[in-house]
Each structure stands twice: as C-alpha cells, then as structure tokens.
C-alpha cells in the first residue's frame, strides 16, 4: 500500500459525458501527478501540481483539466468523453516537486467509455 488513494476504482460511462477522478496523496506529500495508461499509448504523464499550483503539463487533452485543493487532494476532470479515453488513470505523489524525489502511485481508476 503506497498511501496514495484514488476513487472510484472503476468508472463506466458513455461518450460525451463528464467524470471526475479523485486522488489523495500520501500524508505530507505536496506534489501530485496524473498519468494515463492505455494499450496504445502506454504510460503517459498528464499533469503535475505542487501545493495547489500547476507545475508541469504533459500530453493532456484540452478536454481534461485538473486541480489541487488546499487540503492537497487532487481531482482530474475528463469531459466530452470519447471511446479512446478508456484507460487506467493513475495518481502519484511525492514529498516535494523536484525530480530527485520518488513518485508513489495509487491503485488507479479504470475508466471505460461506452
């Protein structure tokens, strides 16, 4: 158990819909990362937040957005969902934001878009 929690564990929805994925980092961790794992794209970095502020952006679609709240939990919002958005979405956290920090991953949210 990494100490990172994600909810829900599974999500099934329809095309065009909007969903919110939630992540609680390990106690004391200030930085949160979102990754997407799909069969065709592999594991890809989406976005990073540090203490409430966006720090880095990866291959995140404009239909996707994220935020980190004052209590340090984070939410990833996916809108206008398409079939291709079906994937496993991971949240990870680290103590600080620099690269010299290990990232600890949550169990993931498996999203299925029908």
Partner 1 sequence: AQSVTQPDIHITVSEGASLELRCNYSYGATPYLFWYVQSPGQGLQLLLKYFSGDTLVQGIKGFEAEFKRSQSSFNLRKPSVHWSDAAEYFCAVGGDTGTASKLTFGTGTRLQVTL
Q: Is the Cβ of residue 4 or residue 87 nearer to partner 1 in the bound state?
A: 4
Burial class (CB in 10 A: 0-12, 13-18, 19+), 33: buried
Does 48 sit near partner 1 (CB under 8 A)? Answer: yes
Q: Is the Cβ of residue 20 or residue 45 nearer to partner 1 in the bound state?
A: 45
Q: Which two tokens stand for residue 17?
A: 């819909």
**Three-state secondary structure call for residue 84:** helix
Q: Scanning residues 76 to 95, which ones bind partner 1 (CB under 8 A)?
A: 90, 92, 94
Report in angstroms the alpha-carbon separations of 26 from 15, 83, 84.
32, 31, 30
* Candidate ranges 15-23, 35-43, 61-69, 74-82; the one touching partner 1 (CB under 8 A): 35-43
Q: Is the Cβ of residue 44 or residue 65 nearer to partner 1 in the bound state?
A: 44
Among 85, 106, 111, 113, binds partner 1 (CB under 8 A): 106
Give one word for 51, left, alpha or beta, with left for phi > 0 and alpha for psi -120 to 50.
left
* Candidate ranges 17-25, 31-39, 65-73, 76-84; the one touching partner 1 (CB under 8 A): 31-39
């Amino acid at each position: 158990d990494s100490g990172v929690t994600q909810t829900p564990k599974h999500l099934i929805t329809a095309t065009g819909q909007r969903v919110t994925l939630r992540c609680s980092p390990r106690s004391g961790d200030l930085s949160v990362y979102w990754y997407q794992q799909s069969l065709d794209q592999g594991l890809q970095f989406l976005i990073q937040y540090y203490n409430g502020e966006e720090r880095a952006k990866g291959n995140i679609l404009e239909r996707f957005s994220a935020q980190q709240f004052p209590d340090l939990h984070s939410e990833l919002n996916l809108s206008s969902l398409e079939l291709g958005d079906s994937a496993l979405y991971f949240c990870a956290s680290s103590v600080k934001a620099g690269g010299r920090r290990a990232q600890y991953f949550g169990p993931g949210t498996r999203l299925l878009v029908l």
